[in-house]
Amino acid sequence: MNSLSRLTLGTLLTAGALTAMPAHAGKTLDAIKARGQLVCGVSTGLAGFSAADSQGNWTGLDVDVCKAIAAAILGDANKVKWVPLSAQQRFTALQSGEIDILSRNTTWTLTRDASLGMFFTATTYYDGQGFMVPVKTKLKSAKQLKGATVCVQSGTTTEKNLTDFSRANKLDIKPVVFEKLEATNAAYFAGRCVAYTTDASGLASIRNKEAKDPKEHVILPELISKEPLGPSVRRGDDEFFTIAKWVVFALIEAEDYGVTQANVDAMSKTTDNPAIGRLLGSTEDTGKLLGLDKSWATHAIKAVGNYGEIFERNVGPKSPLGVPRGLNNLWSNGGIMYAPPVR
């Protein structure tokens, strides 16, 4: 082959590599479509994130993520099977194929990402570990917990962080460890521990749901860790991994561009913004790259709203939890919530 032929071949190969090709359906996507249902692993009950009412209806930020993915894939946010999982059960359920996706207030860490046969897809809530104490203790700082008993759930990053914090600050904290969330809650409110530690969002949820009078308990100001929470999927299925993360990114992008649950249909028909047109499938078909239809993001947004609507409804200042938006604000509004461009 002469130099001109090699150059021509190289140019063609490069052009081919840059040409967008339709996605091949992965085995998880095929299974979801065949059964007509997404199987989503959630918590056994954490208000604001994933909790069921007396009729078995699930709500929460983590729940809305699965509803959005179901809507994007199947066109119906209600086509989800909910599988409540304890902290100890969650990873085995994902590894074994019992669930398609784990959306259960789970922290993204190196060890989990690299050794448990799973991929974290995106961060849906930036959190940090805190401490809750009764107001009557008059404690103002976690560094006043020297020698104190602290209720904590086993099988979590929380347990390890507590040990590290105690050692680093020479506090000799005495963990009181429970396997189940319900047992941890009961022990703290029964007075078996001076303090309760878990993610700050979880403390707000537990205080709101379990305390006889939430005003009798205070969450101390220190956060002792970084806890980026988000959904995860099994390794070995790149197609479903890509779908799961881009549905989350689409919800964030929607807020960035002012696309809401109420206006998404109208905007898909009338927008002259190229970025919104791509997002909603009205000017470009990005769905074919994911193995979905062109309106995949429109389906997701119509089902649950944009990220800001999801946050506000489930955990925000106007919800029962009353959590400030903080780091979970958009990058353009003082936070760090940011999505790669849908293009």
Q: Does any domain span residue 5? A: no
pLDDT at position 24: 61
Which of 208, 225, 242 terminates a domain? The answer is 225
The domain of 66 spans: 27-126+229-333
**pLDDT < 50 stretches in the chain:** 3-4, 7-19
Q: Is residue 135 part of a domain?
A: yes
Whether 160 and 181 map to the same domain: the answer is yes
Identify the domain boundary among 225, 256, 286.
225
Q: Are residues 276 and 308 in the same domain?
A: yes
Please tell me the pTM assigned to this model. 0.88
C-alpha angle 283-38-301 in degrees, rounded to nearest 5? 35
Determine the pLDDT at residue 309.
98
The pLDDT > 70 percentage for the chain reads: 93
Buried b (16+ CB within 10 A) or exposed e, 95-133: eeeebbbbbbbbbbbeebeeebebbbbbbbbbbbbbbbb
For the chain, how many structural domains are there in total?
Answer: 2
Given 176, 210, 225, the domain boundary residue is 225
- What tokens appear for 141 in the block? 């700082």
Residue 219 and residue 234 in one domain: no
Instruction: State the pLDDT at residue 224.
Output: 96
**pLDDT computed for residue 17 by the predictor:** 45
The span from the CA of 327 to the CA of 311, in Å, is 12
Does some domain include residue 33?
A: yes
